[in-house]
């Protein structure tokens, strides 16, 4: 009986063909660099025809062929030439354009927001660049755009904090939620009472607080104190209404970054009205002075931090005794007989509104 002996040469050839057919994601680095395979101008963005950005755009940004030489992670592979000395964040994985781990959101934050790097491909306005660049706009619908689809720059204030799809010019949308840490609850330090102070439905005054009343708003994206300063954001109370003088008292607003409490603010009861002031209706005094409650609400304590009666008593200290339903009889148009505010423009505005008269006690 004749034995059949397999040919070792044939077996080797089969293994060789099988191995070459499978593209390796990470190829070993050779001892010496591989041959130059790209045409002149491949790395020159000024050479529109030969530039590799143009080539990739024409091939729908398919980077699979690049892996055969530069490796599955584009760190060098068989060519020993990495893509990343030129562009740190490209080639992108699919998840880079999304949110979450591995996204450009996390990348930019950990790198102190190097948005100028994005401009190399997406153009100075981030809306596509030139033919030699990606021509992929960051302002596409569902990306950096308003809910109506209007493109906006990634440099808009509400890109990182606030309402992401809000208009770039809507200052109320700059403030959390959402916070830098992606928090949405008012109990979170980064959210707190931002929207309420900016004119939310729970605010009992039409005098809303602007961003600059509590923070030093950067004049530009890379201004000192913006990206180069670790959080949480610094608070400096410069709100005019918070230090409104009355009865010889000028409040000195403070914020405690440990307890998260504001104190010494006119708007939370740091005021006094003197009976001796000729402008007062002194027959309503039970003492020589009427004062607020000097409340110190906690920033993220919720609505329970400033209910009606917390900034001043009902009635205020130094006021003659009166029931809640009697307030409307003197503070006409300000509150109703249930003590509810009916005209926010007459409440917490730096003046006393009595018998339809607006009196200043500075």
Which whole number is the average pLDDT over 279-307? 92
The more confidently predicted of residues 274 and 85 is 274
The more confidently predicted of residues 222 and 17 is 222
Q: Is the pLDDT of residue 8 over 80?
A: no
Name, in order, each residue with C-beta under 8 angstroms of 293's C-beta and a sequence gap of 6 or more.
268, 269, 310, 311, 312, 313, 316, 317
What pLDDT was estimated at residue 123? Answer: 87
Buried b (16+ CB within 10 A) or exposed e, 325-352: eebbebbbebbeeebebeebebbbbbeb
d(CA 128, CA 135): 4
Which whole number is the average pLDDT over 186-201? 91
What pLDDT was estimated at residue 239? Answer: 92
What pLDDT was estimated at residue 269? Answer: 96
The more confidently predicted of residues 117 and 343 is 343
The more confidently predicted of residues 195 and 362 is 195
Q: Is the pLDDT of residue 101 over 70?
A: no
What pLDDT was estimated at residue 335? Answer: 94
Q: Where are the beta strands (DSSP E) in 185-337?
A: 254-256, 261-263, 272-274, 289-291
3-state SS of the chain: helix, strand, coil percent to 5?
25, 10, 70
Which whole number is the average pLDDT over 99-105? 74
What pLDDT was estimated at residue 14? Answer: 31
Q: What are the angstrom distances between the C-alpha of 217 and each of 44, 144, 270, 360?
A: 39, 22, 26, 31
Which whole number is the average pLDDT over 17-38? 43
φ, ψ at 240 (rounded to 5°): -55, -45
Instruction: Please state which of the ranges 46-55, 139-148, 234-243, 295-304 shows the lowest mean pLDDT.
Output: 46-55
Q: For 122, left (φ over 0), alpha (ψ -120 to 50), or beta?
A: alpha
pLDDT in tens, 312-345: 999 999 999 999 999 999 999 999 999 899 999 9
Helices and strands (H, E) in the chain, number of each type: 7, 6
The more confidently predicted of residues 111 and 16 is 111
């Amino acid at each position: 009986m004749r034995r059949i002996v397999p040919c070792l040469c044939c077996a080797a050839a089969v293994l060789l063909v099988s191995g070459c057919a499978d593209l390796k994601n990470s190829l070993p680095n050779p001892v010496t660099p591989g041959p130059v395979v790209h045409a002149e101008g491949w790395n020159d963005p000024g050479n529109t025809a030969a530039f590799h950005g143009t080539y990739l755009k024409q091939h729908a940004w398919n980077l699979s062929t690049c892996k055969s030489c530069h490796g599955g992670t584009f760190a060098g592979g068989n060519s020993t030439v990495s893509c990343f000395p030129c562009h740190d964040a490209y080639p992108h994985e699919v998840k880079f354009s999304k949110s979450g781990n591995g996204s450009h959101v996390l990348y930019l934050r950990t790198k102190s927001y190097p948005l100028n790097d994005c401009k190399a491909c997406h153009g100075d306005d981030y809306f596509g660049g030139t033919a030699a660049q990606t021509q992929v706009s960051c302002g596409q619908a569902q990306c950096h755009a308003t809910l109506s689809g209007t493109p906006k720059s990634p440099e808009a204030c509400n890109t990182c904090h606030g309402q992401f799809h809000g208009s770039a010019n809507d200052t109320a949308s700059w403030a959390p939620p959402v916070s830098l840490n992606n928090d949405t609850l008012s109990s979170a330090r980064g959210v707190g009472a931002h929207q309420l102070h900016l004119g939310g439905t729970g605010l009992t005054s039409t005098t809303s607080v602007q961003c600059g009343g509590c923070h030093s708003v950067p004049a530009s994206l890379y201004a000192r104190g913006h990206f180069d300063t670790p959080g949480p954001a610094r608070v400096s109370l410069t709100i005019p209404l918070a230090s409104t003088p009355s009865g010889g008292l000028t409040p000195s607003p403070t914020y405690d970054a440990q307890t998260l409490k504001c104190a010494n603010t006119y708007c939370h009861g740091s005021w006094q009205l003197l009976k001796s002031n000729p402008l007062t209706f002194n027959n309503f005094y039970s003492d020589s002075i009427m004062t607020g409650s000097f409340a110190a609400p906690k920033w993220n304590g919720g609505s329970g931090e400033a209910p009606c009666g917390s900034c001043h008593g009902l009635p205020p200290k130094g006021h003659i005794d009166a029931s809640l339903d009697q307030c409307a009889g003197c503070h006409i148009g300000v509150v109703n007989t249930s003590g509810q505010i009916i005209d926010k423009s007459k409440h917490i505005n730096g003046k006393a509104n009595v018998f339809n008269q607006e009196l200043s006690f500075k």
